[in-house]
Amino acid sequence: PWIDDVAAVLYVGLSGQAGASATVRALTGEINPSGHLAETWPMHYEDCPSSGWYPAIGRDAIYREGPFVGYRYYETAGVPVRFPFGYGLSYSTFTYSAATAGENGIDVMVSNDSDVAGSTVVQLYVRGPQGGVLHPDRELKGFAKVSLAAHESKSVHIDFDRYTFRHFDAASNEWKTETGEWTLMVGDNAEHLPLTIPHTVAGDVNPVAADTALGHYLSGHVKEVTDAEMAVLFGHEVVAPGKPVTFGVNDPIMSWVDSKGFVARTVAKTLTKQEAKIRQKTGAPDLNTLFILNMPPRAMSKMTQGMVDSAMVDAIVKIANGHTFRGLGGVIAGFFRNQSANKRTAKELNND
């Protein structure tokens, strides 16, 4: 609420132990800040495209946004934001001019119009051909940082690559590039793109109009997307799964509350009650317990420094699936087998 009442804001994030001295140097003008945001800052949480269905009810979250994530949503749907993606100011001012595109990239003239040497990040966004497949209004495809002395100008080149104009075609399970007139936009953030030029691309498919049944996806208003429209985008009906019939290595430990096995069910319920008790007592979530509850069994092999191998993980999953004694036997046998294997490996590494 105070941001409109100040002349400027210096954002210092994850600065480390020398952050304070660096901040003083930036505030006093000893150095010229040149950072740009790597995310959009919305006006309100309710402006976020997923605000209406996160956190998800139950164990599964469905990504309804499709390609409209971050700035791709805000710029396509025309939602005002506090700070757009790529935004960044400095004690210098810059102008962009003379954009020209060739087969391999785009060139643009950048000028420092101020009396202060500084740096900026030139950003290239592209827009697909009119009437083509479902695209966000703009997508970042390249950027380059340039440092300029006071009143200096430089030509900046940004290369095209194999990712610049392609899209994934779900029907053929391949990457495709649409033939036609694309739009190239250059500026210093996703919202401020003063240079716009057309660019003809010789792709491998002709533009095909997006299915009108995509509804709200066509305008980027994904907060209003219906289940039917989502089914068209995904290519199948999307149904939130219920309780798992069998557990796998990717199912979180919290899902074991529905396990057929007494041991696994007890572990999950005990941890759940423990987290709830601490939350009630402190008013804050117990992050350590939540970490365990949300961890899938496969993570055990990565977080135990070799004490649990993949065979032991499979045995643990058997316990969750109700095969308690068989699973426990596999865990015990696997423990000794894994210990022996680790000792052999240690000897080999030590050249014993």
Per-residue confidence (pLDDT) for residue 240, from 0 to 100: 64
Tens digits of per-residue pLDDT, 197-246? 999 999 999 988 889 999 999 999 999 999 999 999 988 887 666 666 78
Per-residue confidence (pLDDT) for residue 165, from 0 to 100: 96
- Supply the CATH classification number for the domain 3-224: 2.60.40.10
CA distance 312 to 298: 10
CA distance 7 to 48: 27
In DSSP notation, 135-202 reads --S-EEEEEEEEEE-TT-EEEEEEE--TTSSEEEETTTTEEEEB-EEEEEEEESSSS---EEEEEEE-
What predicted TM-score, i.e. pTM, was given to this entire model? 0.75
- For residue 247, pLDDT over 80 is answered with yes
Mean pLDDT throughout 242-259?
85
Return the domain boundaries, the chain: 3-224, 253-349
Per-residue confidence (pLDDT) for residue 301, from 0 to 100: 83
CA distance 141 to 194: 16
Read off the pLDDT band of 194 (50, 70, 90): very high
Residue-averaged pLDDT of the chain: 92
Tens digits of per-residue pLDDT, 313-351? 999 999 999 999 999 999 999 889 988 888 888 888 887
DSSP-based three-state secondary structure for 128: coil
